[in-house]
DNA sequence: TGTAGACCATGACGCAGCGTCAAAGTCAAG
DNA sequence: CTTGACTTTGACGCTGCGTCATGGTCTACA
């Protein structure tokens, strides 16, 4: 199966722009032809899109959906159970609103705002998202801080230290990502994250690596140190994690 | 009953910012103390807010909601029936999604995107909104064109003619809005709308009049011809319509 | 082999519906 | 008469796209 953007769009019932946007924010990254830049969607992408649509239906933000799906412990069965629970909560809320309309139709002048309340649902949603985020290592907050750093909005010593690592990556970007220098670089990077942010396990590190190329905003920031820095760092991380997996 | 913003917000389960915004776009215009500028919400506002929340729940845009509620033929009973219909459609869609989840839980690998389809619902919604808009005289499109005109993006003869009327209004703005000059002005204005836009009945004219002060964007544009022009024109229209009502 | 027409890419701007500050005015209690 | 809770307006930011504009690509048919 090899679907073009418009075919994929039609199949999933979304617009082509939506697909492009999802690619941009690193939510759905189809195979991209190296020469033409055309996107080609496969079966895995379709399956992922179905998940995305479900969570979107449940009013998760796209970044939350990204975190949930990126979770290395993601369990399809458990996800289904949770989706069912949230869907039921949503339906029950609609039923309450319906009952309110019915009552008003019968002439009862009920002025309840309570039926509109969706805090219960929102709480459940937040809990779910937060849980995934916690397991996934707070990647999102980390990315945001990094984007700020890379955008030059922070000139602390920490930012300088980070930039130094990125410059080293840029300098090595035409060498073998599995070479000892690259390995040392990745180790330093992992150490930096663990020191300044949170305990960076190999699993999280691998996730970051894929994100460096998948998420366009992130990739651009890295490539400002030299074109190809992002993909080099990503490859180096893959090599590092692969050798320890 | 006289509720402050935060009290009203708490009662309706929305934020104070939301209430401010609704005031800004002319969706909910509470009584405003002339000196302090404080907003005070009464029972009518609470009832209107309940309507707003219902339509918002059904995913109407705020401008559509404004048009629906502004409709001089608005019938509460019929509105309830329609709300019920749309709510049911929404619930049925959720039920379809639930069924899909259940099927997947049972192991059936169903890959339906059809269940996500909401075009039926959207069509019903559009139909409803379009109907209200048609009865209400396409006020929204008209306002938009006027905003463009007032923003100086159109320098046609039509724009000049319109501006001339507004300048006349500004010149009269410290006189009696029920005076013959004001009356003539309103008549010219009504004629202008009927000629260039659509048949402007007294009913529609009255609606426009209230909108001139209620909708901040509109008011500002008018007050560029001189502070108080909007409220003068509004008062003149009220006087005109009252004398014919 | 050209070329037409349908498809695709990126980039940029716009929009709704608010959240979230900042700066300044208002109100009731002590 | 001050303090603290509340209010105002204004401005900027955010998400999740829609909607161009501009230009490359692919296939089909002459």
Q: Mean pLDDT across chain A, nearest whole number?
A: 86
For the stretch B178-227, pLDDT in tens is 999 999 999 999 998 887 766 788 877 887 888 788 777 678 778 878 88
Rounded Cα distance, B91 and B88, in Å: 5
For the stretch A102-153, pLDDT in tens is 998 888 777 678 899 999 999 999 999 888 877 665 555 566 556 555 555 5
If asked whether residues B235 and B145 sit together in one domain, one would say yes
> To which H or E segment does residue A32 belong?
strand A31-32
Q: Which domain holds residue A92?
A: 76-136
Q: Count H helices, E strands: chain A?
A: 12, 2
If asked whether residues B116 and B143 sit together in one domain, one would say no
If asked whether residues B185 and B155 sit together in one domain, one would say yes
Last residue of a domain, one of B87, B116, B136: B136
If asked whether residues A87 and A169 sit together in one domain, one would say no
A77-114: b (≥16 Cβ within 10 Å) or e: eebbebbbebbebbbebbeebbebbeebeeeeeeeebe
If asked whether residues B189 and B240 sit together in one domain, one would say yes
Q: Are A57 and B105 inside 8 Å of each other by CB?
A: no
Output the DSSP codes for B4-68.
Answer: -HHHHHHHHTS-HHHHHHHHHTTS---EE-TTT--EEB-HHHHHHHHHHHHHHHTT--HHHHHHH
Closest CA–CA distance from residue A221 to any residue of chain B (Å): 35
> Strand D footprint at Cβ < 7 Å?
A 14-15, 17-18, 21, 25, 33, 35-38, 56, 61-63; B 4-7, 16, 20, 36-39
- Residue A37's CATH number: 1.10.1660.10
Output the DSSP codes for B169-211.
Answer: HHHHTTS-TTSHHHHHHHHHHHHHHHHHTS---HHHHHHHHHH
> Considering the domain boundaries, does residue B68 fall inside one?
no
If asked whether residues A126 and A90 sit together in one domain, one would say yes
Residue B144 has pLDDT above 70, yes or no: no
* pLDDT at B72 (0 to 100): 67
Q: Are B98 and A111 inside 8 Å of each other by CB?
A: no
Its pTM stands at 0.79
If asked whether residues A167 and A216 sit together in one domain, one would say yes
Spacing of B215 CA from D4 C1' in Å: 34
* pLDDT at B151 (0 to 100): 52
If asked whether residues A148 and A203 sit together in one domain, one would say yes
Q: What is the number of domains present in chain B? A: 3
Residue B127 in contact with partner chain A when CB distance is under 8 A:
no
Residue A179 has pLDDT above 60, yes or no: yes
For the stretch B88-143, pLDDT in tens is 999 999 999 999 999 988 877 776 788 999 999 999 999 998 888 766 655 555 66
For B117, the 3-state DSSP assignment is: coil
If asked whether residues B130 and B108 sit together in one domain, one would say yes
Contacts of A41 in chain B (CB under 8 A): none
Spacing of A17 CA from D30 C1' in Å: 35
């Amino acid at each position: 199966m090899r679907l073009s953007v418009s075919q994929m769009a039609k199949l999933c019932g979304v617009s082509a722009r939506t697909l492009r946007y999802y690619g941009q924010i690193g939510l759905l990254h189809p195979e991209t032809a190296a020469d033409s830049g055309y996107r080609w969607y496969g079966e895995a992408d379709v399956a992922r899109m179905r998940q995305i649509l479900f969570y979107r239906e449940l009013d998760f933000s796209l970044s939350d959906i990204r975190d949930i799906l990126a979770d290395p412990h993601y369990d399809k069965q458990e996800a289904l159970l949770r989706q069912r629970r949230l869907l039921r909560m949503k339906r029950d809320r609609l039923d309450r609103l319906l009952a309110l309309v019915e009552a008003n139709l019968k002439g009862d002048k009920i002025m309840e705002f309570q039926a509109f309340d969706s805090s219960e649902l929102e709480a459940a949603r937040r809990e779910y998202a937060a849980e995934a985020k916690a397991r996934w290592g707070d990647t999102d907050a980390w990315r945001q801080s990094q984007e700020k750093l890379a955008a030059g909005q922070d000139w602390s010593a920490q930012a300088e230290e980070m930039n130094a690592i990125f410059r080293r990556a840029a300098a090595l970007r035409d060498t073998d990502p599995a070479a000892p220098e690259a390995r040392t670089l990745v180790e330093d990077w992992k150490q930096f994250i663990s020191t300044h942010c949170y305990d960076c396990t190999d699993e999280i590190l691998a996730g970051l690596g894929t994100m460096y190329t998948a998420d366009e905003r992130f990739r651009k920031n890295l490539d400002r140190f030299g074109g190809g820095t992002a993909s080099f760092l990503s490859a180096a991380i893959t090599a590092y994690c692969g050798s320890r997996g």
